[in-house]
Amino acid sequence: MAPRGVLDVSVIGGRNLSNPDKEGKIMCIVNYKNQEHRTDAIYCDGTDPEWNEQLLFTIAGSVEDLKIRVHDRDYVTDEEVGHCSIPIDSLVETGYKAQTDASPYEVWRGDEVYGELTVALSFHPEEGHDDEEHEEEDE
């Protein structure tokens, strides 16, 4: 049976993500299947933005990678400056509560690494899943 529950995505920050052409606002657009959430567009006058935002996604059925696009957000354009893909299958495949520590993921622009995003993930299974049985197996 496919896992069901909630994926908690904590977009913490980035390194080397500022648009090299200008200062301005930067944000992340996070997609899982047909679900989309955005971080706030924050002003970044350097290369290391910090969002510290929590985004929640419903997990049901087959598992796909989490997609994150980094966008330069100013008054004239909303330009993608990089993207990354985060596999989540090993996190949710057991169907039990699981989490990853904050980890850096490479952000790509074209065929080159552009910078990185630091993201933490946690999976919370749907109510009714027998966590007590799993905890007894771990002892």
Domain residue spans of the chain: 5-138
Please give the class, per CATH, of domain 5-138: mainly beta
Q: 13-35, pLDDT tens digit by residue?
A: 999 875 555 677 889 999 999 99
Q: Tell me: the pLDDT tens digits for 30-70?
A: 999 999 999 999 988 778 899 999 999 999 989 999 999 99
Torsional sign, CA 73, 77, 81, 82: positive
Contact criterion met (CB below 8 Å) for 30 and 67? yes
Amino acid at site 85: S
Q: Are 112 and 81 in contact (CB under 8 A)?
A: no
pTM of the shown model: 0.85
* 93-117 pLDDT, tens digit each: 888 999 999 999 999 998 999 899 9
